[in-house]
Amino acid sequence: MTDNVKNRELRSQQLAICEKYGQPCIIPPPDSKIGFALKTAGKVPINGLRHPEKADTNGWYIWCGEELSKAPDFFSPLHTAHLQKRCPEALQFLGLPPGYRFLIAGDYVDVWYDPSLLNV
């Protein structure tokens, strides 16, 4: 499968998620940065939340596992394009606008709006 086909399929998935929740699809550029908790990769559940964009970041913060640490080094900057290797399960949710959260635990998926994420 070519990268163009993969990208079209991913975009289709992202649009479908946003449509399901009645939201505009705001797909971050591949060179924008997310905060990713590298030390948690591979744990369950996968959590994501999106703050408003700022400078070269797209507002997404993603971690795996039960705990969201407050440690200043918990999240590392990662280009969105590199999430494919680190946490491909999260990619389909990245079109959701600021204020949204998601949780993936096997077949269980939850998506919800959290207005407090807009006040940062």
Contact of 49 with 110, CB cutoff 8 Å: no
Q: Can you give the pTM of this predicted structure?
A: 0.94
Question: pLDDT tens digits for 51-107?
Answer: 999 999 999 999 999 999 999 999 999 999 999 999 999 999 999 999 999 999 999
**DSSP sequence for 42-77:** T-SSEEEEEPPPBTTEEEEEEEESS-----TTS-EE
Can you give the pLDDT at residue 103?
Answer: 98
Cα–Cα dist 41/86, whole Å:
7
